Structure 1
Amino acid sequence: MPKIKDVIVYPVYAEASSALSGYLPFSSSIEGAVRRGYSSCFVKVVAEDGLYGFGECWVREVPQATAEIVERLLKKVILGEDPLETEVIWEKMFATLKNRGYSRGHLIEAMSGVDIALWDLKGKILQRPVYTLLGGKFHDKLKAYASSIVFGKPEVMAKKAREWVDEGHDQIKVKVGMGVERDAENLKAIRNEVGGNVEIMADANSAYNLSNALRLARYLERLEVRWFEEPLPSYDLKGYIMLKKKVDIPIACGESLFTVYDFKDLIENCAVDIIQPDIVRAGGITGCSKILNLTKAYNLFYSPHVGLSGAGCRAATIQISTSTSPETFLMYEVYDIKESPNPFSNYICVEPVEKFSKGYISVPEKIGLGLEINEERLKHFLCK
């Protein structure tokens, strides 16, 4: 069996035509913290016979830092390893980080991208789609929702919701977090525009404390909102436990957590209804498989986060979702800002990873992740 010969990193950045951040409470005084571009770090793992796999690391800022972690640390761990032994390599990488005191942050995000690349390579070696290696195919297509309607005047947000519905979406996610009264006004306008047959999800990106989250949750229930996402910071475990006990609306959380060890407390304390790991942050395919097993054991729903990430995240998320049973899998997130498209989603691909039609994403039949990167286009965005 050919061993791993090389690891190549592509830290990339592209300017956006408008700010990408959600609401920041001090944005007027910390203008430099407002996100104004797309960042990512792609990883290419090459075997001795020339076959290779691509992965992606979660990056919101400073992609060079993530690339350095892969290049200077994780590459040393995996060179010479058997690329089929994804679990062994994952444990070696995690032990390397854990023994240095790291179980979160950039280092786990870097490890996630390496793991995804290994699964892509593994699928190519075995000439099988990754979902087959994960146990099989439960879905020919994945139910998908549109994300996200960003902050604006109520009539502007309602107009955007109407556009998405006209494009074939019957489930849409809306940003909240501007204050209970303003959020309520925005959501009421959207509900009035799209009617009762369209499901709405509300995403607060950790904006609230327990008191205000509880106030907004009760209003969301009256509007029949499908779920309330990240109402509190992910570190507020007691807040989540108390909120879930007091409301009927399903509570979702997970995009800000790292590995199964973060999710364990949330799940075992029955603090949420819907688990939302992001595969490029939560340990890659191997790491998310561990989270999924715990999610199934507690009979919760899995609705993966994608957000501002690129094609590597989306391809890997489609594969693991395809192999997740209908009793656990809820919905796939189609994140698209048409006014400022993410070039790392489709432009760098030979063909798009996501193919949306009538509320669903189709599942590719190709080997590996079904991902083919145009490396010349990718190199165009390399950080200087």
Structure 2
Amino acid sequence: MRVTDVEAIPMESAVDSVQMKLGETDQTVGVSPVVVKVHTDTGITGLGETLTYDPTGRDAAFAAEGVTSLARHLEGEDPRDVSQRWSELYQHAKRSGAFKPLSAIDEALWDIVGKDAGKPLYELLGGAAGDVAAYATFPHRKSTEELAEDGAWLADTGFDSMKITVGGGVAEDRERIRTVAAALPEGFRLSMDANTSYGFSEALRLSRTAEELEMEWFEEPIAHTDIEGQAELNRRVDVPIAAYQSHYPHYPAVDHLRANALDVYQPSLYVCGGVTAADRVATLVESFDERFVPHAFGPLVNYAASLHVAVASPACDLIEFAVYDDDADDPGQYVASPYVANQDEFGLEDGTISPPDRPGLGVELDDDVVDELRIE
């Protein structure tokens, strides 16, 4: 089997009102996917995906060009030798910063391997290690009052945990997490994400309140590059410290683990280096008896890849699930990727989530919708 062509398709965001903290302000952004198709001489086509947050689609188009540039090194190669292909592409990606293209291509190669073997990807990664639940996150910033009401709604459809954003100041955040925690159903877990908003002393003060509330974790409390600061915070507080969504590929995990900087490791498959890098993070994390919880905010091809890695890791019992529709009867139903024909197969069931038992990633595209969203 040989690679004959690699196609990168930048698309408009299929969801609205996504809000993220960028710098000091909350900004409305998009979730613009770049779907990658790796074609072979046997007729098997592998799917992968990365994403950008630029609502104009310009960043998606730029990422697609990066895929095209990196993919020229794949032409004529056997896509099933994924480890070798990853190592070769990494040599180019680390010099150009093309980790999003590398991630999408790697996912597509694993999809080919699964389709060629006639097996779902998680079986090729060692099989299912156990049940994986999903915790709810919201792609739009919500008021404290809204979040306090959401716990019962989420619990009714199978969720037993959710993550909320913080970063508005210690006093404000203390009130926010106390109010939300008090309103949650019994046994419902709560975590928070500061998106690196705080310095060490502020994060330490807020962590004390998180300890009192027995929160699930405190995500990115300080700069993700401050390994020593994370390690000191982790040493001084009982609430687990989480991060790694901004790191790539798997090599920085070694430094974090040696320093005991994190309790929860959250690689983002769309930027860390795809399935290959995330699976290696999972193996490293397991060897140190830490927790692996993939950051999986975004569209479904990449989410499917994240889910396969999660299911196959003994260190993972939880994965992120973005709830985009506040009016949905079932917030555990995936709705963010209408260009995926079988997105209804990716949803919460009896409190857990698992990929379909289709070969590869298990994703089937609706090419008509892809064409409608395609950025020319």
Say whether the fold is shared (TM-score over 0.5). Answer: yes
**Match in the other structure for 1:44:** 37
For residues 323-371 of structure 1, the C-alpha deviation after alignment (integer angstroms, 9 at most, x for no partner) is: 112xx11301111221499998331111125221232113321111111
Letter of the 1:363 partner, please give it.
P
- Do the aligned partners of residues 312 and 363 (structure 1) sit closer, same or farther apart at CA in structure 2, a change above 3 Å counting? closer
**Match in the other structure for 2:89:** 93
Give the one of 125, 133, 137 matched to 2:128: 137
Shift of residue 154, structure 1, vs aligned partner: 2.3
**Match in the other structure for 1:229:** 219
Asked if residue 123 in structure 1 is aligned to residue 105 in structure 2, the reply is: no
- Do the aligned partners of residues 345 and 80 (structure 1) sit closer, same or farther apart at CA in structure 2, a change above 3 Å counting? farther
Please give the TM-score of this superposition, normalised by the length of structure 1.
Answer: 0.90
Asked if residue 81 in structure 1 is aligned to residue 77 in structure 2, the reply is: yes
- Do the aligned partners of residues 302 and 356 (structure 1) sit closer, same or farther apart at CA in structure 2, a change above 3 Å counting? same
CA–CA distance in 1 between the matches of 2:195 and 2:34?
23
CA–CA distance in 2 between the matches of 1:145 and 1:269?
27
1:241-320 correspondence runs (5 A): 241-307=231-297, 309-320=298-309
1:332-347 correspondence runs (5 A): 332-339=319-326, 345-347=336-338
Contact 1:145 1:173 survives alignment (8 Å): yes
Contact 1:17 1:339 survives alignment (8 Å): no
- Do the aligned partners of residues 340 and 36 (structure 1) sit closer, same or farther apart at CA in structure 2, a change above 3 Å counting? farther
Shift of residue 263, structure 1, vs aligned partner: 2.2
For residues 53-93 of structure 1, the C-alpha deviation after alignment (integer angstroms, 9 at most, x for no partner) is: 1000142231111101111x212111111111000100110
Q: The residue matched to 1:244 in structure 2 has which SS? A: helix
**Match in the other structure for 1:31:** none
- Do the aligned partners of residues 24 and 164 (structure 1) sit closer, same or farther apart at CA in structure 2, a change above 3 Å counting? farther
- Do the aligned partners of residues 17 and 198 (structure 1) sit closer, same or farther apart at CA in structure 2, a change above 3 Å counting? same
Letter of the 1:322 partner, please give it.
V
CA–CA distance in 2 between the matches of 1:376 and 1:118?
24
CA–CA distance in 2 between the matches of 1:260 and 1:23?
25
Shift of residue 302, structure 1, vs aligned partner: 0.3
Give the one of 200, 209, 220 matched to 1:210: 200
**Match in the other structure for 1:377:** 369
CA–CA distance in 1 between the matches of 2:214 and 2:140?
20
Contact 2:14 2:31 survives alignment (8 Å): yes
Asked if residue 108 in structure 1 is aligned to residue 105 in structure 2, the reply is: no
For residues 176-235 of structure 1, the C-alpha deviation after alignment (integer angstroms, 9 at most, x for no partner) is: 111111111111121121144111011111111101110111001111111111111211
For residues 108-127 of structure 1, the C-alpha deviation after alignment (integer angstroms, 9 at most, x for no partner) is: 11100000001001111111
Contact 2:48 2:107 survives alignment (8 Å): yes
**Match in the other structure for 1:66:** 63
CA–CA distance in 2 between the matches of 1:81 and 1:93?
12
Contact 2:18 2:139 survives alignment (8 Å): no
Q: The residue matched to 1:361 in structure 2 has which SS? A: coil
Root-mean-square deviation (CA, aligned residues, Å) is 2.1
CA–CA distance in 1 between the matches of 2:185 and 2:42?
56
Deviates more, 1:275-284 or 1:259-268: 259-268
Asked if residue 199 in structure 1 is aligned to residue 189 in structure 2, the reply is: yes
CA–CA distance in 1 between the matches of 2:23 and 2:327?
20
Q: The residue matched to 2:11 in structure 1 has which SS? A: strand
Give the one of 340, 346, 358 matched to 1:366: 358
**Match in the other structure for 2:4:** 5
Return 5+ residue gaps in structure 1 as ranges.
28-33
Return 5+ residue gaps in structure 2 as ranges.
none
CA–CA distance in 2 between the matches of 1:150 and 1:161?
16
Contact 1:315 1:370 survives alignment (8 Å): yes
Contact 2:199 2:222 survives alignment (8 Å): yes
CA–CA distance in 2 between the matches of 1:86 and 1:19?
34
Letter of the 1:380 partner, please give it.
E
